[in-house]
Structure 1
Amino acid sequence: MSVIRVALIQSELVWQNSAANLQNFEQQIQKHKDVQLFVLPEMFNSGFSMDSTRIAETMEGLTVQWMQQQAKRADAAICGSVAISVEGQIFNRLLFVTPCGLVQFYDKRHLFRMGGEQQHYQPGSERVIVSYLGFRFCLQVCYDLRFPVFARNQQDYDVLIYVANWPEPRRQVWRTLLQARAMENQAYVVGCNRIGLDGNGLNYSGDSMVVDYSGQILAELAFSQNGVVTAELNLTALQQFKQKFPAYLDADAFSLTSLL
């Protein structure tokens, strides 16, 4: 498939209330047809909570089962992060679930120090790329956006996905870096953020968007808008652009091995 339609769901999150959040996202997913990939915000079932032991689930828990059910019903992949407990350790885990029930995941590597995330979650150790419908997706979470080396395209992906709880005071940073990551990596960038107030009194502006390989915004949701935005990613167009402007051929060679 050379074209895939992506839907970003930008929503308020009910603080530490998984049932209410899943019900909300289920309603949104059911309203949109002809979508091959739904992207939800970071910790979409709880909000960005440091009460990790309270909100964490297992890979056999309710939220993962819900994602599998929704993916099958919508015949579309679903992507979003959840607090996941594994053998006593808790990760901010970005899950990518396909219609056939396959669950792939990336554990957030860069934990948000200013919010104390590193005190409550374990950092991931692997850079993860998943393939779906002919596209290669590099999975990233929120604060990862500030670290371009980790996201560096080694010609192993076509799309960068960022899910986030990125506060309003730093919204310009979010918007700018999403476009920068697209231009420097010659890849599509999908950034899905939440809106509204969280349990700590922080406000989120959303600014969810899809950016193409040249840095142009293809689709976006307005400031604090509750809703869904869709965009088509065209693999053929991306490949043609890279043939016409092959800046990646002059990139400095290096390895991420020493960083992981």
Structure 2
Amino acid sequence: MRITGLNLDIAWKNKGKNFQLIEDQLNDQEADIFLLPEMFSTGFCMDAAEVADRNEESLDFLKKLSKEKNAAFCGSAPVEESGRFYNRMYFVQPDSETVFYNKRHLFSFSGEDKVYTPGNKRVIVNYQGFRILLQVCYDLRFPVFARNNDDYDAVFYVANWPEKRVGAWEHLLKARAIENLSFVFGLNRIGTDGNELFYQESSHCFFADGKEISHKNGNIVSAELDLKELKNFRNHFQFLNDRDDFEIKLNS
């Protein structure tokens, strides 16, 4: 399975411009799944009442691209639903079938928890034989939530993770791959946002042994995920069999 991510320099609070940038930059790309960064349509913005989708604008855009490219699309956007705001990660298939995950761990350092409502479900998507755990940015710092109970093969993290803390981002992505015997694809944005935070190119895909398997060409980062190779690795190193039993309890 080929995964292609776009290191997008997100235009601040400008959905139309971001939609056009994404279409232009992915025009000649092919993949089974395309990844877009966290809040790809607006940037990581706390002005939810101003920028949040009320008519599924970002979702409709993903459905359009997914149908045109005959590929799945995955990324997050701010959404208003029933008077609440969510940082919602979509996984859209070419037939428009959609699964979504509401970001669980909200970044209190920026006040995200004061604006957005946390999700209360751990979401795994099944697509083309792969089981994929959906995660957003700050979720990366919480390993219990991402612990592999032998129920997924890959984790997708989409993020707006600034340069000043990028070391933690890169180390934790590799750690999640190793401890969970899984593929981990972390897609970050680039450029400078409306809060003057700078984001360096730092998207990566790691194999279960911590080896980087992604390739980069301009703003495009891609990786080939071989499920047979992963299963062989897990059969040889059966570390998941020794994991601790636990239960995650999520409040509404």
Normalising to structure 2: TM-score of the pair? 0.97
Q: Is 1:99–2:91 an aligned residue pair? A: no
What's the counterpart of residue 257 of structure 1?
Answer: 249
2:125 to 122, 126, 130: 130
CA contact (8 A) 1:219 1:230 kept: yes
CA distance in structure 1 between the partners assigned to 2:191 and 2:249 by the alignment = 39
Provide the secondary structure at the position in 2 that maps to 1:30: coil
What's the counterpart of residue 195 of structure 1?
Answer: 190
CA contact (8 A) 1:11 1:226 kept: no
What's the CA shift for 1:256? 1.1
What's the counterpart of residue 212 of structure 1?
Answer: 207
What's the counterpart of residue 54 of structure 1?
Answer: 50
CA distance in structure 2 between the partners assigned to 1:166 and 1:62 by the alignment = 24
Provide the secondary structure at the position in 1 that maps to 2:145: helix
What's the CA shift for 1:259? 6.8
CA contact (8 A) 2:137 2:159 kept: yes
2:175 to 171, 175, 180: 180
What amino acid maps onto 1:248 in structure 2?
L
What's the CA shift for 1:31? 1.4
CA contact (8 A) 2:120 2:251 kept: no
What's the counterpart of residue 30 of structure 1?
Answer: 27
Q: Is 1:161–2:161 an aligned residue pair? A: no
Q: Is 1:108–2:103 an aligned residue pair? A: yes
Identity %: 43
CA distance in structure 2 between the partners assigned to 1:125 and 1:258 by the alignment = 6
CA distance in structure 1 between the partners assigned to 2:223 and 2:195 by the alignment = 32
What's the counterpart of residue 4 of structure 2?
Answer: 7
CA contact (8 A) 1:192 1:206 kept: no
What's the CA shift for 1:30? 1.8
Unmatched tracts of structure 2, length 5 or more: none
What amino acid maps onto 1:32 in structure 2?
Q
Provide the secondary structure at the position in 2 that maps to 1:149: coil
What's the CA shift for 1:28? 2.0
Normalising to structure 1: TM-score of the pair? 0.94
What amino acid maps onto 1:44 in structure 2?
F
